[in-house]
Structure 1
């Protein structure tokens, strides 16, 4: 882990702010002329959780300068998210549409992000030294480099700047196949970015797609937790071997169990392998943001130097709890998450 993590500076979350339009599945929103809207984006969801849990959080994105974005930034500031690093240029905020109750990996998602202010960022445009002032932790996800080669180049630029400053870096290997449309496969882009990461979070299938770490072909047919966890350990060890800077790898497992969800996670750090309790629920309100909540829980634990098992259990309970909360961002307090862990 970077030595700079010992300095309790701000946690900077880097990514595109999105508005999620959330129609119901039956088309009632058309009859009622009501279309629910949530402020989202994976990295903003992480920032929201960390601010709610009383950690110092900055957020970097790019938005046009207009009345709409002024309202949005005021809303985030009211949540104790420092928006001073937000870069203002361009013409529009990115959107996506997702039918209520569906997963972001589902065909129900429609992106409308082309030519957004964030997508139009270019290398050399932003003073990263100024953005990273007072920052001891930098978080990004694989969604940004999925947008375009230009976006991937911006990611590389800011990661190199953060690395020069010895800032701890975390990444969520979010895989969004609908976004990787510019002629490059994730495995051609992500390894050069991942080399800067101290904490890597994802799942074994995303690690195969993005880092080329193959999953045992017959693994999925087993359906056995012990087999999945063994695969997580194997994948984690391979990542550690390939990326010397990495100090922790976390894997999540979320499966549909009938009408509900089965959820558990794993963490490999300090040459030891940990796994969480298994959570199940028949009631899922909103699948969006659960993984972001897990990522926030990891950052919360590492930032506060918690025991690995404790921080994994906290992150897992936070992610599972998010499944019962409407919207992109969690509303759970630290105490409420600890109460879940006691159940």
Structure 2
């Protein structure tokens, strides 16, 4: 097997506290991240050959960031140095990126403004057997969406496995297109589609049954997961697996389980619950990395799902954008959070 190449924008997450103490203390905590870098970081930690494609301005700060990524044992040879700025976003610590308080500062970033027909894809995709990107990439600009399609065509032509995370970030879709107008043309290249029922509805136009949320029953959610997965495979013939996450806030805690549909069967994960967590950012990225890890290792579908789910849940207790929990520690970290009362 070759490398797993994660494709997306490197970001700095700036974390002002809700009370405004950062002004008095003259300091702002920050984390290095970006959805796809979080995936690459987890895979490298789990000893899967991991590479990363992004674009950064050619300056001393970018070089420091690349050195940081190198230290994570991620292949940075595909990183492009061009443009003028690194993308930023601001988010209170512990909050989710879906939170309305998130502030993006990513316009005209180096990654968002890569031009078509300027990248040597033969070089970038050399020795790559898996290509991963997220729906955040085409949300940035029309140019970014066009470049996604360009690289997906190249990867597909080389028979590289392709995965997409259907991350929906409402505040990013500001260039006149809705995700349902853009993502179907990209999803047709994908062999693994991950997201949730509502992301598939918004981005790939797969309807969710009316009244499902109001009903709020696990059995109904699982039935919809099967229906959505089957419809995705019907519409996108290259797709061989569909994963859905179910994450519900319970007070200050979380209830979490996931599904993986492949080879005509809906696999349902263990359900986990916690009364309190540390950081929601990056949990979905860790789940995506877990899926890639399992398929890369050619594990049975049920094992792929259980590892990915446990990895994602364990990330909720890590205060950074990417996980720092090794593969052989993942299941041990979550064993005390299994919801024994639930079985399906």
Q: Per the shorter chain, which TM-score range?
A: over 0.9
Kindly indicate whether residue 319 of structure 2 is the aligned counterpart of residue 326 of structure 1. yes
1:65 partner SS: coil
Partner of 2:20: 27
* Separation in structure 2 between the aligned mates of residue 180 and residue 234 of structure 1, nearest angstrom: 27
RMSD between aligned residues: 0.8
Q: How does 1:5-16 map to 2 (within 5 A)?
A: 8-16=1-9
- 8 Å CA contact retained: 2:38, 2:322: yes
> Paired residue for 2:291, among 286, 289, 298?
298
TM-score by length of 2: 0.96
Partner of 2:210: 217
1:341 offset after TM fit, Å?
Answer: 5.6
Cα deviation code 1:287-311 (max 9, x no counterpart): 0000000000000000000011111
1:107 offset after TM fit, Å?
Answer: 1.3
Kindly indicate whether residue 229 of structure 2 is the aligned counterpart of residue 236 of structure 1. yes
Unaligned runs of 5+ in 2: 337-344
- 8 Å CA contact retained: 1:266, 1:312: yes
* Separation in structure 2 between the aligned mates of residue 116 and residue 53 of structure 1, nearest angstrom: 30
Q: How does 1:1-343 map to 2 (within 5 A)?
A: 8-340=1-333, 342-343=335-336
1:128 offset after TM fit, Å?
Answer: 1.0
Cα deviation code 1:165-189 (max 9, x no counterpart): 1101000000001001111111110
- 8 Å CA contact retained: 1:314, 1:341: no
Partner of 1:5: none
Cα deviation code 1:197-249 (max 9, x no counterpart): 00000000000000111111100011211111111111000001000000000
Partner of 1:3: none
1:70 partner SS: helix
1:274 offset after TM fit, Å?
Answer: 0.3
* Separation in structure 2 between the aligned mates of residue 309 and residue 201 of structure 1, nearest angstrom: 16
Aligned pairs, how many? 336
* Separation in structure 2 between the aligned mates of residue 117 and residue 188 of structure 1, nearest angstrom: 24
- 8 Å CA contact retained: 1:313, 1:341: no
1:196 offset after TM fit, Å?
Answer: 0.2
Cα deviation code 1:25-56 (max 9, x no counterpart): 11111111110110010000000000000010
1:249 partner SS: strand
* Separation in structure 2 between the aligned mates of residue 89 and residue 261 of structure 1, nearest angstrom: 41
Which stretches of structure 1, 4 residues or longer, exceed 6 Å deviation after superposition? Answer: none
